[in-house]
């Protein structure tokens, strides 16, 4: 549903995005993560047809990203999404449905159904008088008023309290389960790790890693196994852990050797725990590795 091929955007001599290539399948949540200035928002705006790339190309739902017809298949949510504050949620969404030529009866059914799913109350209150969380829900509902196949969300949970954040992320999962394709950016890597099918990590305008979270862990992280035994196993530098002993090893072959050594010492393995690096830990390592390189080097 989304294909980005060597997308590049420069402002004067400054390369904001350098050669980004990725694809997003139908019914998939794809997350782009990175620090401020990494190029996330610029990438999303090129995908949404709001910024013309300096080089490369992007297609959305079979349309070139710069084709106006593409926007009928797209719902876009910017990080900052000012609303018409004198309107109510209903009148605001009716206005955008009319812009998309959605028939009145269909628009009413679609709007009310989306607001029900978002559990949005006070639908006839002025938008200037509602909370930031409610405004964000209305902005999300606006992105769905034309029933798009593809959704591009820039920081959908930006500035929201934890309860509303979790609700928005759960709603994103529901959209994926309904067959929508979702591309979004985020700062909070825990949120990305919890909802995304695949992830691209950006730094200094470049994609420095991509794949599922397990694939990224396997390629860039280090998994360790903590093996708890009932007796010490000196060959594996066992450390005391309460009434047990723990050995930290790098792979399952070593786990089996600890098991054998514990058995020979008259004991047994009583627990095994896997310590995997979080996406945030991997990102910090990758960011440190690329921080000193020339921006734009491929």
Q: How confident is the model at residue 293 (pLDDT cuts 50, 70, 90)?
A: low
Q: What angle do CA 40, 42, 44 make, to 5 degrees?
A: 70
Residue range 88-138, pLDDT digits in tens: 999 999 999 999 999 999 999 999 999 998 888 889 999 999 998 899 999
Q: What angle do CA 156, 162, 165 make, to 5 degrees?
A: 25
d(CA 68, CA 241): 63
Mean pLDDT of 273-288: 78
**CATH dotted code for 2-218:** 3.40.50.300
Q: Which residue ranges make up each domain of the chain?
A: 2-218, 224-275
Q: Is the pLDDT of residue 294 over 80?
A: no
Judge if pTM exceeds 0.85. no
């Amino acid at each position: 549903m989304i294909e980005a091929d060597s997308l590049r955007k420069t402002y004067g001599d400054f390369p904001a995005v350098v050669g980004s290539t990725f694809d997003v399948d139908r019914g998939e949540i794809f997350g782009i993560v990175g620090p401020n200035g990494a190029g996330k928002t610029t990438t999303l705006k090129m995908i949404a047809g709001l910024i013309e790339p300096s080089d490369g190309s992007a297609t959305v739902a079979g349309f070139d990203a710069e084709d106006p017809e593409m926007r009928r298949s797209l719902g876009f949510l910017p990080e900052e999404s000012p609303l018409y504050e004198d309107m109510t949620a209903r009148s605001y969404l009716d206005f955008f449905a009319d812009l998309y030529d959605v028939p009145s009866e269909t628009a009413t059914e679609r709007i009310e159904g989306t607001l029900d799913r978002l559990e949005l109350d006070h639908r006839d209150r002025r938008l200037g008088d509602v909370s930031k969380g409610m405004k964000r829900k209305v902005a999300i509902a606006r992105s769905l008023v034309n029933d798009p196949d593809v959704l591009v969300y820039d920081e959908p949970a930006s500035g929201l309290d934890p309860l509303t954040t979790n609700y928005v992320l759960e709603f994103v999962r529901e959209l994926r389960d309904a067959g929508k394709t979702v591309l979004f950016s985020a700062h909070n890597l825990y949120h990305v790790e919890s909802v995304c099918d695949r992830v691209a990590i950006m730094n200094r305008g470049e994609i420095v890693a991509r794949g599922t979270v397990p694939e990224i862990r396997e390629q860039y992280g280090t998994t360790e196994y903590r093996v708890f035994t009932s007796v010490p196993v000196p060959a594996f530098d066992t450390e005391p852990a309460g009434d047990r002993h723990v050995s930290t090893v790098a792979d399952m072959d070593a786990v089996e050797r600890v098991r054998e050594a514990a058995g020979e010492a008259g004991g047994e393995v009583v627990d095994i725990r896997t310590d995997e690096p979080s996406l945030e830990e991997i990102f910090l390592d990758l960011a440190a590795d690329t921080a000193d390189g020339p921006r734009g080097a491929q």
